């Protein structure tokens, strides 16, 4: 049931999380703090509910490779054509998974099943407003997670919505909505 994260409540889903994110690409440090009742907290609460109610896909063919001896789940990934600020936040959350769960996002070498994280663009090449995953769980071959500054609220005048990063990564792991 909780083979992916090891337990229902996990530090990755805490209600108060403060972290400083130095960004070498733009020479700034961002401090991000999630407050109770914030939009981010509501999404994190939803993930806790998903874990508690076992909203995992019940299809073993959709599971990622798991090391029995280490009890880790490995997901190969590549990051393609993405804004530097978005890449920075993605790398932070991938590391957060590594530090606080059995999930190991590993850079792809030659794996045939892997995730490509890239900017979502429309037919005109413009960034789209939504973040999304092309599938839930491991589908085989290449699958995509689309993230942009627009859907993450990283543009001037927008409220940051960094919770979309772990939200979409959870879909890749096999977690679904109610």
- pLDDT tens for 84-133 read 999 999 999 999 888 888 889 999 999 999 999 999 888 998 988 889 99
For the cut 50, the answer to whether the pLDDT of residue 150 exceeds it is yes
Cα–Cα nearest to 99, from 1, 10, 2, 167: 10
CA distance 40 to 18: 12
Angle, CA 3 vertex, CA 109 and CA 16 arms, to 5°: 90
Lowest mean pLDDT among 11-15, 121-125, 140-144, 173-177: 11-15
- Two structure tokens written together for 10: 């996990």
Q: Is 171 annotated as a binding residue?
A: yes
For the cut 80, the answer to whether the pLDDT of residue 45 exceeds it is no
Residue 120 in 3-state DSSP? coil
Could you count the other beta carbons within 10 Å of the beta carbon of residue 120?
19
The overall average pLDDT reported for the chain is 74
CA distance 44 to 171: 13
80 vs 57, higher pLDDT:
80
Q: Is 88 annotated as a binding residue?
A: no
Prediction pTM value? 0.67
- Two structure tokens written together for 13: 């889903």
DSSP state of 62: G
Is 95 catalytic? The answer is no
Confidence of residue 178 (pLDDT cuts 50, 70, 90): low
Q: Which of 91, 123, 168, 178 is catalytic?
A: 168
For the cut 50, the answer to whether the pLDDT of residue 1 exceeds it is no
28 vs 61, higher pLDDT:
61
What is the CATH T-level fold of the domain 11-173, as seen in this structure? Collagenase (Catalytic Domain) (3.40.390)
CA distance 62 to 135: 10
Cα–Cα nearest to 77, from 42, 48, 113, 53: 113
For the cut 70, the answer to whether the pLDDT of residue 66 exceeds it is yes
Confidence of residue 157 (pLDDT cuts 50, 70, 90): confident
């Amino acid at each position: 049931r909780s083979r992916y994260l090891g337990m229902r409540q996990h530090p990755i889903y805490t209600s108060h999380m403060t972290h400083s994110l130095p960004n070498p690409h733009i020479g700034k440090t961002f401090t991000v703090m999630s407050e109770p009742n914030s939009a981010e907290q509501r999404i994190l609460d939803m993930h806790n509910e998903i874990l508690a109610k076992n909203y995992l896909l019940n299809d073993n063919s959709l599971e990622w490779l798991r090391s029995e001896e280490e009890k880790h789940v490995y997901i190969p990934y590549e990051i393609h054509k993405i804004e530097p600020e978005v890449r920075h936040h993605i790398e932070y959350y991938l590391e957060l998974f590594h530090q606080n769960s059995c999930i190991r996002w590993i850079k792809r070498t030659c794996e045939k099943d892997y995730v490509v994280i890239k900017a979502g663009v429309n037919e005109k090449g413009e960034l789209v407003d939504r973040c999304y995953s092309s599938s839930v769980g491991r589908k085989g071959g290449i699958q995509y997670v689309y993230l942009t500054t627009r859907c993450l609220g990283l543009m001037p005048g927008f409220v940051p919505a960094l919770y979309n990063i772990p939200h979409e990564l959870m879909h890749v792991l096999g977690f679904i909505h109610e």
